[in-house]
């Protein structure tokens, strides 16, 4: 090995033996193997060598480079293990003088409205179902009459996972599984399908006073012979009147497009923050979109194994997070996900 290379080798070995932390190791790596590192710099001397010398010199520099890389990797493993052991063996120190936190916990406002809605729908004979937050494209879109490349997919900006699955954008993603679960009882025993399924949804959306990228919805479906829009309106009105303890709550129904219902509606309630005069929480419209709904599309029923010639049904997708805002007068949706215990402790389930 050339003298220059040998000198670098022993300098490297000596410096490496003095390294005691990962930060020092990183600095050493840059000093020897970085773009301007001394081992990298050895290759710059090649110009002054004969062709024969170049061959040996190049091979030796590469050998030193590999040796340095292996030694650094080995040292890194050893240092990580050492740091982990130090952490494990560290004796925790307790300050016995810190006063204990005696403040009791409280339920989150979203949990409170969810429980309230569950209680209301349970009393109307609905089952409560739980569903995964990671779902397939079939569950979230295709089974809901939204084929691949359908423009309606742009209505919801979806987080896809590397394995092709996705984070549920809507609780409607559980509809198909619910129909398949209960269709035999419907067809063979004449038991209507009545189910609600609350859950967390995710959309890649910019946040503002009434939008978050993570929020809760509660889906509801009812399927039987002769279910009509009247059943839908009755269920929605009952639920809202009970949640707000107000049978005069102003509600409006507008036409709305969702590929899985026909006809489809947007159900808005008058903003409970400003009393309907307009504020940032309702984007100054006086109304808040709360619960889109409609009559289940025949294609969706068929996909769930239910004959749309014999059965009809309604579905709704209640925005639970927005319902919590309206119920508890929370002006900005982001305060609900903020996790401030002081602010959350104001809400109680004393009803």
**Which residues of this protein are in contact with ligand FA5, per CB under 6 A?**
170, 172, 203, 205, 211-212, 215, 217, 219, 258, 261, 264, 289-290, 292-294, 315-317, 319, 321-322, 333
Identify the CA nearest to 138 among candidates 116, 168, 95, 183: 168
**38 token code pair:** 């001394």
Q: Judged by CB, which is closer to ligand FA5: 42, or 318?
A: 318
Least distance to ligand FA5 from the beta carbon of 79, Å?
Answer: 45
How far apart are CB 29 and ligand FA5 at their closest, in Å?
Answer: 45
Minimum Å gap between C-beta 277 and ligand FA5 is 20
Structural contact between residues 226 and 312, judged by C-beta atoms closer than 8 angstroms: yes
CB of 226 to ligand FA5, least distance (A): 19
Nearer to ligand FA5, 192 or 264 (CB): 264
Give the residue with the Cβ less far from ligand FA5, 37 or 199.
199
Residue whose CB is less far from ligand FA5, 68 or 221 = 221
Query: Is the Cβ–Cβ distance between 182 and 191 less than 8 Å?
Result: yes
Residue nearest ligand FA5 by beta-carbon distance: 319
Cβ at position 18, least distance to ligand FA5 in Å:
55
**Pick 212 or 303: Cβ nearer ligand FA5:** 212
Distant-in-sequence, close-in-space partners of 270: CB < 8 Å, separation ≥ 6:
249, 250, 251, 276, 286, 287, 288
58 vs 298, which CB is nearer to ligand FA5? 298
Minimum CB distance to ligand FA5, residue 327 (Å): 13
> What is d(CA 256, CA 254) in angstroms, rounded to the nearest whole number?
6
CA–CA gap between residue 301 and residue 175 (Å, rounded): 9
Task: Please tell me the distance from the alpha carbon of residue 131 to that of residue 135, in angstroms, as a whole number.
Answer: 9
Burial of 215 (C-beta count, 10 Å sphere; 0-12/13-18/19+): buried
Q: Cβ 141 to ligand FA5, closest distance in Å?
A: 11
CB of 11 to ligand FA5, least distance (A): 59
The string over 73-107, giving b where at least 16 C-beta atoms fall within 10 Å of a residue's C-beta and e elsewhere, is eebeeebeeeeeeeeeeeeeeeeeeeeeeeeeeee
Shortest Å distance, C-beta 262 to ligand FA5? 10
Angle at 289 (CA atoms; ends 283, 292), nearest 5 degrees: 160
Pairing mode of beta strands 127-128, 193-202: parallel
Residue (64 or 236) nearer to ligand FA5, CB: 236
CB-wise, 8 or 172, nearer to ligand FA5? 172
Phi, psi of 37 (to 5 degrees): -70, 160
Structure tokens at 22: 């990962």
Which is nearer to ligand FA5, 53 or 157 (by Cβ)?
157
Residue 269 DSSP one-character state = E
C-alpha R_g of the chain: 32
């Amino acid at each position: 090995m050339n003298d220059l290379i040998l000198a670098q080798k022993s300098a490297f070995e000596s410096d490496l033996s003095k390294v005691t932390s990962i930060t020092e190791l990183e600095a050493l790596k840059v000093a020897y193997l970085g773009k301007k590192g001394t081992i990298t710099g050895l290759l710059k001397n090649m110009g002054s060598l004969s062709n024969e010398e170049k061959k040996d010199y190049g091979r030796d520099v590469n050998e030193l480079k590999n040796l340095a890389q292996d030694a650094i990797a080995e040292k890194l493993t050893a240092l990580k293990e050492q740091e982990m052991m130090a952490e494990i063996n560290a004796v925790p120190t307790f300050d016995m003088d810190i006063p204990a936190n005696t403040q009791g916990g409280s339920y989150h406002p979203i949990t409170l409205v969810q429980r309230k809605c569950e209680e209301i729908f349970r009393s109307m004979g609905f089952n409560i179902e739980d569903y995964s937050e990671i779902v397939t494209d079939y569950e979230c879109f295709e089974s809901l009459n939204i084929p691949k490349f359908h423009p309606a997919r742009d209505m919801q900006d979806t987080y896809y996972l590397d394995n092709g699955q996705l984070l549920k954008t809507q609780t409607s993603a559980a509809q198909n599984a619910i129909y398949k679960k209960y269709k035999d009882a419907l067809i063979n025993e004449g038991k209507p399908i009545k189910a609600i399924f609350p859950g967390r949804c995710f959309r890649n959306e910019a946040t503002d006073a009434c939008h978050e990228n993570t929020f809760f919805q509660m889906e509801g479906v009812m399927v039987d012979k002769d279910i009509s829009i009247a059943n839908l309106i009755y269920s929605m009105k009952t639920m809202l009147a009970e949640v707000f303890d107000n049978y005069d709550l102003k509600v409006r129904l507008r036409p709305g497009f969702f590929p899985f219902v026909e006809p489809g509606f947007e159900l808005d309630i008058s903003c409970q923050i400003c009393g309907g005069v307009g504020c940032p929480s309702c984007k100054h419209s006086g109304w808040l979109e709360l619960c889109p709904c409609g009559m289940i599309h025949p294609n969706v029923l068929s996909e769930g194994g239910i004959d749309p010639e014999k059965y009809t049904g309604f579905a709704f997708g209640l925005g639970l997070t927005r319902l919590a805002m309206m119920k508890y007068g929370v002006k900005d949706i982001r305060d609900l996900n903020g996790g401030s215990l002081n602010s959350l402790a104001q809400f109680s389930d004393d009803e």
